[in-house]
Amino acid sequence: MTEIGTGIGTEIGTAALWTVIIGLGVGSFLLRFSFLGLIGDRELPVWVLRHLRYTGVAVIPALVAPLVVWPAATGGALDAPRMVAALVTVAVGLAFRNVIAAILAGGASLYLGLYLLG
């Protein structure tokens, strides 16, 4: 999802680009506004709330798992420094319940791993 353009791509047409810019801007706003705007302060059913409690803890791992197992930078090949950094990040986050400590530990692990193994 964060694959980086290699600069070898074709030239982007102006009409296509602006369609995507406007469409993505408006579409993203509608996705973000959807429930907040429509539901307002009405009570949601218990089963809906029960599911919503697990959105973040489900969607973020679902989003990140493929990025760890098939990293874009290595063309999708399993990569030891990135895998170790991922495990260190989650472990430190679990142990200390601190997001920034986890980010720093993960970053340090990644650079150390790339230095030692890369």
Partner 1 sequence: MTTKTTKSPYWQGMAAGAPFVLVVVPLSILFGVVATEAGLSVFETMVMTTLVIAGAAQFTAVQLLSEGAPTLIALVTALAVNLRMAMYSASLTPHLGAAPVRHKALIAWLMVDQAYACGMLAYERNPGWSVAQKASFYFGTVSLIVPLWGVFTFVGAVVGEAIPPEFALDFAVPITFLAMIGPMLRTQAHMVAAGVAIIVSLFLAFLPYSIGVLLGGLAGMIAGAEAERQMAHRGIAI
Residues 14-73 that bind partner 1 (CB under 8 A): 15-25, 27-29, 31-37, 39-42, 44, 47-73
Minimum gap (Å) between residue 116 Cβ and partner 1:
13
Residue linked to tokens 């999708």 = 76
- Cβ closer to partner 1: 24 or 116? 24
List the interface residues with partner 1, window 75-104 (CB under 8 A): 81-82, 85-86, 89-100, 102-103
DSSP 4: P
Residue linked to tokens 């990140």 = 64
Residue linked to tokens 């991922």 = 86
Angle value at C-alpha 60, between 117 and 84, nearest 5 degrees: 15
| Residue 102 CB neighbour total at 10 angstroms | 19
Q: What does the block give as tokens for 47?
A: 């089963």
Residue 117 binding partner 1, by CB under 8 A: no
Minimum gap (Å) between residue 46 Cβ and partner 1:
10
Give dist(CA 76, CA 87) in Å, integer: 18
Q: At what angle do helices 80-96 and 99-117 cross, to 10 degrees?
A: 160
Minimum gap (Å) between residue 60 Cβ and partner 1:
5
Minimum gap (Å) between residue 21 Cβ and partner 1:
5
Q: How many residues of this chain bind partner 1 (CB under 8 A)?
A: 87
- Cβ closer to partner 1: 49 or 116? 49
